[in-house]
Amino acid sequence: MVTCHACQEHIPRLLRGILSPALVAELGSHLGGCEACQMELAEEQALSRRLRDVARYPSPAHLRARIAQQLEGRTWTGIPRLVTWRWLAASAVVLLAVAASALVLTRRDPLRTFIPEATRNHREMVMQHELFGFPDVGPWGSAELPRLLSERLGLPVTSLFLGDSELVLMAARPLLVRDRKGMVLLYADRHGWVSSLLLVSAPDIEVPKGSRLQFGTFRPYHTQTDSLRVLVWKQEEMACFLVAQAGDQQLADLFLKIRRAM
């Protein structure tokens, strides 16, 4: 029997998706009949959403160049004393080129921005699903999803994995991720394990070349946060984030099923 005190203490962990399914079920049962704890959960969810608005300070473009230079063993000494205007002009061109490339490199890194968003959305969707369930994937039904994604959200989607006997599409929710339009799809297998697929417009983002896994002919980027595994790949100007709590084989099966349908 979960008390209100215990329930409210668990809510931050619940929001983070790091509780066992058994405890989530217990909390769900308590929350279903306790208005005070429901209010606590709603307030904590609202705070989590507001924490997404916390300012992020992007690193200045020249900082990367400055540090890279130091790491290579060259000490930054500023402008030499015996400087000529020609030398200065040439140096300015080089520095601008370095700064521009550093800026591009900075913007290429999706890890610090989109992956936490993908896992956070995953946790929220899973929690919502476990606590309240989902009626369906929208008034148009799942078959209309690719067209909606393409026409309404401008995402380059012509087809999607819409479920089979093993894996069911449970829900679809449009959302804004860092001011970009996107959609998160929630899938559940017959054992109740839930995974999510976040699709978001990201023309300026490149997936890092390292940390790739080979699944069939595909090589998605792979990372892990808490117990969640995240696969990232690009399709035209759309970035795809598959989030799941799965072992190697489960993850491979899940990815191939979803990726091959797209």
Q: Which of residues 176-215 bind other proteins (CB under 8 A)?
A: 176, 208
Can residue 36 be called a binding residue for other proteins (CB under 8 A)?
A: no
Longest dimension (CA), the chain: 79
Q: Which residues, other chains included, contact 13 with Cβ-Cβ below 8 Å and sequence gap of 6+?
A: 19
Nearest partner of 24 among 164, 131, 175, 145, judged by Cα: 131
DSSP string, 99-161: HHHHHHHHHH--TTTHHHHHHHHHHHHHHHHHHH----S-TT-GGGHHHHHHHTT----S---
Which CB atom, from 162 or from 246, has the smaller least distance to other proteins? 246
Question: Minimum Å distance from CB 119 to other proteins?
Answer: 7
259 exposure class (CB count in 10 Å sphere: 0-12, 13-18, 19+): buried
Can residue 225 be called a binding residue for other proteins (CB under 8 A)?
A: yes
Can residue 9 be called a binding residue for other proteins (CB under 8 A)?
A: yes
Question: Minimum Å distance from CB 164 to other proteins?
Answer: 31
What mask of x and - would describe binding to other proteins in positions 125 to 164, judged by CB under 8 A? ----------------------------------------
Can residue 103 be called a binding residue for other proteins (CB under 8 A)?
A: no
Can residue 97 be called a binding residue for other proteins (CB under 8 A)?
A: no
**What single DSSP character describes residue 32?**
H
Which CB atom, from 36 or from 63, has the smaller least distance to other proteins? 63
Question: Can you tell me the distance from the alpha carbon of 232 to that of 244, in angstroms, rounded to the nearest whole number?
Answer: 12
**What single DSSP character describes residue 209?**
S
Instruction: Find the part of the chain contacting other proteins (CB under 8 A) among 62-70, 126-134, 143-151, 193-201.
Output: 62-70
Binding site for other proteins (CB under 8 A): 9, 12-13, 16, 18, 43-44, 46-51, 53-60, 63-64, 66-68, 70-72, 105-106, 109, 111-112, 115-116, 119-120, 175-176, 208, 225-226
